[in-house]
Chain A
Amino acid sequence: MSEGVSSRPLGTLKIYLGYAAGVGKTFKMLEEGHKLKREGQDVVIGYFEPHGRKDTIAEAEGIEMIARRKIQYRGAVFEEMDTAAILQRSPQVCLVDEFAHSNVPGSERSKRWEDVQILLDAGIGVLTTMNVQHIESLNDQVWHISGIRVRETVPDWVVKQADEIVMVDVPPQALLNRLRRGAIYAREKANLALQNFFKESTLVALRELALRQTAHEVDVRHVEHESGAATLSGGFAVPGVAHSAASDTPQDRILIHVTPDPLSAMLIRRGRRVADYQQADCFAVAVERGADGRFLPAAEREALDKHLNFARNLHIETRVLEGENVAETLVDFAHRYQVTQIFLARPHGKPRLRLLHKDLVREVVRKARNIEVTVVAERHR
């Protein structure tokens, strides 16, 4: 699959992962920058977002800062990281705040993580910061917890590429105290924040999510390091390790059924996440009734393309199949490609009204014989 093919960048990437603004990610990153500098490395700040926080601003002192690039957009001036200037300066280590940031239109690249890729490819080591809610495959879960649809996301494979992920932890109560003291945002914005992301139950849940995600990232990395080792110290089943290293489990292969339906995005995220945890291969497959989607209305065509494109951005291989019967075409493909699990979206609408109709889920379940079928439900709030 695509992950295997892409070559690893030269520079090492380290991510400071938090669960909310104000947990201290930027501070931690700067602290590490100072430490590396003391050890004799050539360190610069590529982008740093002070948010007017005094401690953080003081911590940035003493590290060379690369001036930002000014970009005009709709009559206003925006500042973005100047990737070209950093490349020219060519430091050993570059500090880049807010990994998930979207650049203003007119920038060379649309996402900051893409700028970081460029730095890594040039052999520059990068320290960066992000929150757990910016991980693409967690988008639905985060929305479910917080009611907020996070727009700026980083694909999971980009995060997976990091050599090191460090959790920046702080208990929610302490964070709320900081917020009330005005140490995170100005008063007005703080009050707004308290009603949204900064509800205590939301923070506690996001923190748990970040801890589990970091544990998973640690797990994935030590699996990679020791791949091939049959048993682990004393046979203690470290979750994930014992199974993934063992050769007796057949390769899992997941097929995600993609349609123009908006639910497809959720299905793709969920499939990607499960595939990552099971270390499974992953396909996204659409079925069209006529060649080249002739019979698809333009709006649906566009939605389908958007979803296929989304899947590819998450490093999922996509296929468009042609067939009159969707269930049959999917299951045929699944059998031919030794798929072990098919992901379908749970159909909309009132179940009773559907009973007598043939529906896709029913049909696929009946035809799939030896294949598991996972019906993914939309999470409501």
Chain B
Amino acid sequence: MPETYATRPTPEQLLHRVQAEEEYERRGRLKIFLGYASGVGKSFRMLDEGRRRKLRGEDVVIGAVQSQLPSEAENLLQTMEVIPLKISGESATMDVGAILRRQPQVCLVDGLAYDNPPGSLHAKRWQDVEDLLAAGISVVASVNLQYIEDYREQAEKITGKRVDEAVPLGFLHKADEIEVVDAPPEICLEQGNGESPTGQSAQQLSELREIALLLAADVVDRQLESYLQRHGIEQLWGVQERILVLLRPGTRAAHMIESGSRNANRFHGELFAAYLDHSKLPVKDKSMLESDLALARQLGARVELLSGESLVDAVLRFARSRGITQIFVARSARETWWERLWGSDVDRLVSEAEGIDVRVFPN
């Protein structure tokens, strides 16, 4: 089987692609350093990146930086041009106008989630960054996991602390590069007294760290998908485990769905459930299938209705299109003489699921 195959784009697709590329060329590039807690060294890494770019001859300025920096970062700061914050009353905002007038190649922006005071051009600092990018200025920014909209609640449950400011996850997905600032929790603990600067314990830090790594992996996974799409490559392999639970009439699937969900969690993977059209099923089988589907949805599975004459063909087609790595299926309760002689659907699935593991469950 070929590893990849190319698909020929239509003229409309080509035009669209060219326009998108031109638009992309005009814009500045966005790089984001992602940390799991304060004290992990995001600001330092951001400033260090600025220093290295300056060494390579790029025109770098600092647009916004935290007021309290560790001494190493403070030293770096001294060597660079800073566009002063705009002070209005008690609050300070990044001076977008001044940066646009200065027109550097690269601007460093700390604290992406920062809320601008009422009356500012934009409500949020990340929206200011959009303006810089649109003006062709590249931005190197840093953000803390707890300030990412879709992860705020998870982080809150771990730390018990509420944060009001947030950056949407979509903004991270738009970044050209995202880099994880990983370090053992002790790094953060060293700066406080047995807890991080913002008061987290080692255990809490370690949980936040895991989530940040997985968030980065998901962002990277999207990048991989879009890369392969851009290059017209059909992906036939997955880094992420993707489990497909197959629901067949007359077999109970609850235990299989639960196991699928547990495994998907452990592998930090995705869960799918698939079934064939069931309009012609007897009432009893139909209601069993309905309750299995409800359970699958409840456990976060993506449910797919398959069509086609042959169950095995339909399942394998779907599995290939989604990069499924494991198929869960229950064996039949009763075996007909036909199946005994020629093999059941499960036998066919096992022998034809090339490149995919098949886990057969007791019924």
User: Which of the residues B184, B342, B354 comes within 8 Å of A380, measured between beta carbons?
Assistant: B354
Does the CB pair B237–A377 fall under 8 Å? no
User: Which of the residues A170, A214, A371, A378 comes within 8 Å of B179, measured between beta carbons?
Assistant: A170
Chain A 237-275 residues near chain B, CB threshold 8 A: 237-241, 243-244, 249, 270
User: Which of the residues A237, A354, A372 comes within 8 Å of B351, measured between beta carbons?
Assistant: A354
Residues on A with beta carbons closer than 8 Å to the beta carbon of B355: 377-380
Does the CB pair B177–A171 fall under 8 Å? yes
Residue B343 CB within 8 A of the other chain: yes
Does the CB pair A212–B268 fall under 8 Å? yes
Chain A 78-119 residues near chain B, CB threshold 8 A: none
Residue A375 CB within 8 A of the other chain: yes
Nearest CB in chain A to that of B342: its residue: A355
Distance from A75 Cβ to chain B, minimum over Cβ atoms (Å): 41
Nearest CB in chain B to that of A344: its residue: B350
Q: Which of B219-227, B273-281, B303-311 participates in binding chain A?
A: B219-227
Most buried by B among A144, A205, A218, A369: A218
Does the CB pair A211–B213 fall under 8 Å? yes
Report how far A351 CA is from B358 CA in the complex, Å: 15
Most buried by A among B202, B210, B267: B210
Residues on B with beta carbons closer than 8 Å to the beta carbon of A54: none
User: Which of the residues B227, B268, B354 comes within 8 Å of A377, measured between beta carbons?
Assistant: B354
Nearest CB in chain A to that of B205: its residue: A222
Report how far A135 CA is from B83 CA in the complex, Å: 46
Residue B206 CB within 8 A of the other chain: yes
Interface size on A, residues (CB 8 A): 72
Residue A277 CB within 8 A of the other chain: yes
Does the CB pair A201–B206 fall under 8 Å? no
Does the CB pair B184–A214 fall under 8 Å? no
Residues on B with beta carbons closer than 8 Å to the beta carbon of A244: 266
Does the CB pair B267–A141 fall under 8 Å? no
Residues on B with beta carbons closer than 8 Å to the beta carbon of A378: 355
Residue B209 CB within 8 A of the other chain: yes
Distance from B244 Cβ to chain A, minimum over Cβ atoms (Å): 14
Does the CB pair B359–A209 fall under 8 Å? no
Distance from A312 Cβ to chain B, minimum over Cβ atoms (Å): 24
Q: Knowing A226-B203, A377-B354 are in contact, say whether A278-B266 is a contact too (CB < 8 A).
A: yes
Residue A374 CB within 8 A of the other chain: yes
Does the CB pair A346–B217 fall under 8 Å? no
Q: Which of B130-138, B153-161, B164-172 participates in binding chain A?
A: B153-161
Residues on A with beta carbons closer than 8 Å to the beta carbon of B210: 215, 218-219, 222, 238-239
Interface 1/0 per residue, B329-363 and A, CB below 8 Å: 00100010000011100111011111111111110
Does the CB pair A239–B266 fall under 8 Å? yes
Nearest CB in chain B to that of A218: its residue: B210
Residues on B with beta carbons closer than 8 Å to the beta carbon of A362: 343, 347
Residue B291 CB within 8 A of the other chain: no
User: Which of the residues A141, A164, A236, A355 comes within 8 Å of B184, measured between beta carbons?
Assistant: A164
Interface 1/0 per residue, B223-235 and A, CB below 8 Å: 1100110010100
Does the CB pair B203–A201 fall under 8 Å? no
User: Which of the residues A168, A214, A377 comes within 8 Å of B358, measured between beta carbons?
Assistant: A377
Does the CB pair A145–B239 fall under 8 Å? yes
Does the CB pair A215–B351 fall under 8 Å? no
A-B contact pairs, 15 of them (CB 8 A): A169-B216, A174-B179, A208-B239, A211-B217, A211-B220, A214-B182, A215-B217, A218-B210, A232-B207, A238-B210, A351-B352, A372-B359, A374-B360, A375-B359, A380-B1
Residue numbers of B with Cβ under 8 A of A are 1, 3, 31, 154, 157-158, 160, 176-184, 202-204, 206-207, 209-211, 213-214, 216-217, 220-221, 223-224, 227-228, 231, 233, 237, 239-240, 262-263, 265-268, 326, 331, 335, 341-343, 346-348, 350-362
